[in-house]
């Protein structure tokens, strides 16, 4: 049985022992990687906190370790990411797929933090090690040669997309109530609210508020009607909007963004619909490109199959309402995500 724990100060000797075991084994097969002084805590503590380290216990015995951090000692990603460093398996645990277990745990850490990118780097000439990462969905994003004492060392940089299809994420403004839908309000009241918001930050509100609200109310009806057509059972007339999995673009819609993560297992899936991307894009004929998900609303199981077929949509940075609605295509929405629409209040009341 494997149990993974977060290290505390008392586990510092355990971390050193696991890494030292790896150093001795790699030296013995003629593939040296770290020097002993590099894996002593006096050196490791320059780059890591002890709580960065995760330790795998195999039947109660320390068998593997890794550091998982929000920064890398060797490179910067330019996006919210977690990084795996110093992944090592003790020899007695070799062949028991502990590398896969540790990587899976790191992916879970990403999901728990609402982060969709997991990164690492490794020696480019260690093909067996690279094969482990690649079978765990890591993709090479860069390769560089580093020179140390006139000797070249190839380094490969990997990135893994980590998407959470087991939770809905609802983003909202810190200090404000969650689960609010502008289209659940009477038109005049919604118009007043958007006028106030536009004065605070015009980059967050469409410049033609009346036109936008008419479109929003019509879009809600379109989604609802399409959802009923595929067997959905909506209760609300206006949905609460969420994303399936974390999305950094949506998180930046707000000045002080926070989110609520709702397990799919707690939701009546007959009352949640999904689109492959923002509804304003999916139902916009001006930017139609022919894929089967255009103009479609899905139930959860069907949406999972679409994700398997096409992958996750891109998640570009949000650059304000003007970037979403360029003048030549006023509905040319550039943000991409799996949008979810909750059509009853049962589960929402638990998280309010």
Show pLDDT as tens, one digit a residue, over the chain (352 residues): 999 999 999 999 999 999 999 999 999 999 988 999 999 999 999 999 999 999 999 999 999 999 999 988 777 667 789 999 999 999 999 999 999 999 999 999 998 887 888 999 998 889 999 999 999 999 999 998 877 667 788 899 999 988 889 999 999 999 999 999 999 999 999 999 888 877 776 666 777 889 889 988 999 999 999 999 999 999 999 999 999 988 877 887 788 889 999 999 999 999 999 999 888 778 878 777 788 999 999 999 999 999 888 888 765 444 444 444 444 444 444 557 899 999 999 888 888 8
Range(s) within the chain of domains with CATH label 3.40.630.30: 2-161
According to the model, what pLDDT value does residue 119 have? 95
According to the model, what pLDDT value does residue 77 have? 67
Rounded to a whole number of angstroms, the distance between the first and last alpha carbons of the chain is 38
According to the model, what pLDDT value does residue 320 have? 45
* CATH pick for 2-161 out of 3.30.450.90, 3.40.50.12780, 3.40.630.30, 3.90.660.20: 3.40.630.30
pTM flag (> 0.85)? no
According to the model, what pLDDT value does residue 351 have? 87
């Amino acid at each position: 049985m494997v149990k993974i724990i977060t290290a505390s100060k008392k586990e510092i000797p355990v971390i050193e022992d696991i890494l030292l075991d790896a150093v001795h084994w790699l030296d013995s097969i003629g593939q040296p990687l770290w020097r002993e002084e590099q894996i002593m805590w006096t050196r490791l503590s320059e780059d890591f906190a002890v709580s960065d380290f995760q330790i795998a216990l195999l039947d109660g015995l320390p068998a593997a370790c890794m550091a998982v951090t929000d920064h890398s000692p060797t490179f910067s990603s330019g996006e919210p990411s977690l990084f795996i460093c110093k992944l090592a398996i003790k020899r007695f645990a070799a062949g028991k797929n502990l590398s896969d277990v540790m990587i899976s745990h790191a992916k879970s850490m990403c999901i728990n933090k609402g982060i969709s990118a997991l990164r690492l780097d490794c020696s480019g000439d260690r093909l067996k090690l690279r094969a482990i990462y690649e079978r765990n969905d890591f993709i090479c994003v860069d390769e560089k040669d580093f020179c140390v004492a006139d000797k070249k060392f190839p380094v490969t940089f990997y990135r893994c997309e980590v998407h959470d299809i087991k939770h809905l994420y609802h983003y909202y403004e810190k200090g404000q109530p969650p689960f609010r839908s502008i289209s659940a309000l009477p038109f005049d009241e919604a118009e007043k609210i958007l006028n106030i918001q536009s004065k605070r930050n015009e980059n967050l509100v469409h410049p033609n508020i009346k036109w936008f609200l008419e479109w929003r109310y019509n879009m809600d009806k379109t989604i609802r009607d399409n959802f009923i057509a595929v067997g959905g059972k909506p209760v609300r007339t206006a949905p609460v909007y969420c994303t399936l999995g974390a999305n950094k673009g949506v998180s930046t819609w707000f000045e002080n963004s926070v989110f609520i993560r709702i397990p799919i297992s707690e939701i009546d899936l007959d009352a949640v619909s999904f689109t492959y991307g923002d509804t304003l894009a999916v139902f916009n004929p001006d930017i139609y490109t022919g894929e089967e998900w255009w103009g479609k609303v899905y139930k959860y199981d069907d949406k999972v199959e679409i994700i398997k077929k096409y992958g996750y949509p891109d998640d570009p940075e949000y650059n304000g309402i003007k970037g979403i609605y360029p003048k030549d295509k006023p509905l040319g929405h550039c943000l991409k995500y799996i949008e979810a629409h909750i059509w009853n209040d049962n589960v929402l009341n638990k998280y309010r």
